[in-house]
Every structure is written in C-alpha cells, then in structure tokens.
C-alpha cells in the first residue's frame, strides 16, 4: 500500500516497510517512468541498454537517509557490468524529472556505500531518483539520448529512489586540515569531491576560498596543538576561533558551532565576507598562516 509523503507542497508515493521507514522503492511506477515520462524521455532519449559483463549482475540499491553533508548522498550498492553513468534526477510528481543533480561515471565493478556528490544542496524531505545508464557513445562523455538506461535481467531499468532528511545547520561542504610540524597547515580533503576551487589539497597554507552562503565544516585533526582561526586581513582581529572568543561567533547568520574536539561549522555570509582576510593557527600565528576570502 502506498502512502503519500508531502514534500514542498507535493504528495509523493512512498512505501512503508515493517520498520516504519519511509521508502519509495523501485516499482512499476518508476520502471515505467524511465520510458514513459515525457520530461525524462527528453533528457535521456528513452529505452535501450548496452552489453553486460556476465560476471556482474546489473543492480542498484538506495536507502532513505539523513545527510551529514547537504551535497552528498550515499548509494548502498551498485552492480556495474560495463562502463556506465550513475545519474541522480530530481523528482517530478513521483517520477524522474529531466533535471539532474549528479552524474557520476562508473567503471565495471561491484560498489557498496558509494558516495555521490550533488550539484546543489539537497532539501529536507526531497525525493531523488537514481538510475544507471550505459555509456554507449563516446566513452567518458555523458550524452543524454545516447547513454540510455541500463536494463536488468527482466528488461527493466536499473533504478531506485530515496528520500533525504536534512537537519538545520547541516554543512554543505567538509574540509579536513592537519599540520606539518609547527610550520604549516596542510589541507588533506574536500568533501564531496565534486566541489572544486575551495582549497588546494596536499599543499601547505594555500589560499582558502569559500563561497557565499555555503555552510562549511572544518575538521581540524591537529586541534590540540594547532587551534584554527579565521581572521581579518593582516590578522589584526579574530573573527572565529577554536581557542578564544571571536567577534563574529554570536552572529545568527554565521551560526558558528565548535564541538571542542576539532569540528567547527559556520556559514560564509556577507557579514563574514566583509571582514575575512586570513586563517591561522592560534599557537603559531606567524608560520601557520594563509589567505582566506569569500566569492
């Protein structure tokens, strides 16, 4: 029996399992939508499927999930027998819309807990449709209308759907930083990987470029010896800090949080943009220092 989950003013069909989890599973509606929904056909050309490798059965499983980053979802499992695209579509009344939020190339393999970066932040209660497409045209180039949905052994599209939950204050992007002795910070990861232009991973004290209205989480693996701070240009004033009270930490829009163990969160607002000029280590402010700004 289908129940309706209101999302942004629409009712989407979702199925409840005996654990009371809301879930829109791959069913007749979704299978038919891949070939019958007009908006989806416009984006994908409808129908068709490529050759498969018998060693791997095509398949795709997603679960409803609470996001720890608004721009990253997880696909529980995927069986990819040939070069393929994992495409995440927005919803249009319970069927895939033409609009995509992620297109990820996959080599033949069996995947589990596959992280997929989104082009934009997800909204609380949003329904997404995940569909595997064969890479049938120029290999490595996504070609709507040519790279058609992959089919399983029952000649049904390899597809599944998921509903996401997003708590207030959830970051969009996660940055992880460590140290090189007492002389430099080294940024070691940006999540999701689809995000570019924020910081050069693997380099020492590079420019940190935040994007306006994005919410960030910084994981400081060196917190105990190297507390992280955001400063004004010339490091004349502390704005946000793991060690002392910064002048902007009470700003509601910035929504600064610090768990005291190396995880801080804040939103890159216009207020922060008006003052931000640098980041540094509280203990080693001369050596562990880099330029910071907001675009």
Question: Looking at the DSSP assignment, which residues form a beta bridge with residue 109?
Answer: 80
Q: How far is Cα 179 from Cα 199, in angstroms, rounded to an integer?
A: 15
Domains in the chain: ranges and CATH: 2-165 (2.60.40), 173-294 (2.60.40)
Average pLDDT over residues 14-29: 38
Task: State how far the Cα of 219 lies from the Cα of 19, in Å rounded to an integer.
Answer: 34
Helix or strand holding residue 292 (H, E): strand 289-294
Q: Where are the alpha helices (DSSP H) in the chain?
A: 28-36, 38-44, 270-273
What value does the mean pLDDT take over residues 199-208? 97
pTM (2 d.p.) = 0.83
Share of the chain above pLDDT 90, in %: 81
For residues 58 and 132, the answer to whether their CB atoms sit within 8 Å is yes
Mean pLDDT estimate for the chain: 86
Please write the tens of the pLDDT for every residue from 162-175: 999 999 999 999 99
Q: Which of 221, 236, 238, 142 is nearest to 179 (CA)?
A: 221
* Reported confidence tier of residue 55, pLDDT bands at 50, 70, 90: confident
Residues 228-273: tens digit of each pLDDT: 999 999 999 999 999 999 999 999 999 999 999 999 999 999 999 9
Residue 38 has phi, psi (to 5 degrees) of -60, -45
Reduced to 3 states (helix: H, G, I; strand: E, B; else coil), residue 236 is coil
Residue 270, φ and ψ in degrees, nearest 5: -65, -30
Give the span between the Cα atoms of 295 and 211, in whole angstroms.
Answer: 5
């Amino acid at each position: 029996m289908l129940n309706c989950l209101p999302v942004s003013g629409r009712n989407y069909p979702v199925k409840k399992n005996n654990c009371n989890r809301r879930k829109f599973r791959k069913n007749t509606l979704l299978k038919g939508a891949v070939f019958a929904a007009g908006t989806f056909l416009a984006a994908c050309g409808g129908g068709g499927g490529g050759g498969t490798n018998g060693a791997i059965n095509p398949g795709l499983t997603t679960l409803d999930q609470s996001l720890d980053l608004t721009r990253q979802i997880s696909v529980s499992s995927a069986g990819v027998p040939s070069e393929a695209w994992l495409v995440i579509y927005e919803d249009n009344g319970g069927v895939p819309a033409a609009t995509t939020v992620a297109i990820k190339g996959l080599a033949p393999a069996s995947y589990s807990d596959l992280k997929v970066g989104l082009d934009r932040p997800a909204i609380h209660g949003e329904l997404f449709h995940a569909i595997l497409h064969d890479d049938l045209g120029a290999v490595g180039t996504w070609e709507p209308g040519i790279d058609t949905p992959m089919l399983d052994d029952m000649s049904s599209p390899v597809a599944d759907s998921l509903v996401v939950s997003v708590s207030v204050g959830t970051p969009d992007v996660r940055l992880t930083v460590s140290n090189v002795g007492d002389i430099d910070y080294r940024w070691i990861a940006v999540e999701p990987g689809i995000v570019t232009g924020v910081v050069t991973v693997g380099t020492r004290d590079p420019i940190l470029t935040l994007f306006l209205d994005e919410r960030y989480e910084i994981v400081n693996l060196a917190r105990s010896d190297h507390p992280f701070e955001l400063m004004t240009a010339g490091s004349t004033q502390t704005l946000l800090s793991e060690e002392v009270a910064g002048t902007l930490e009470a700003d509601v829009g910035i929504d600064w949080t610090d768990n005291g163990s190396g995880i801080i969160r804040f939103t890159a607002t216009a207020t922060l943009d008006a003052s931000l000029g640098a980041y540094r280590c509280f203990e080693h402010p001369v050596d562990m220092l880099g330029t910071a700004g907001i675009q």
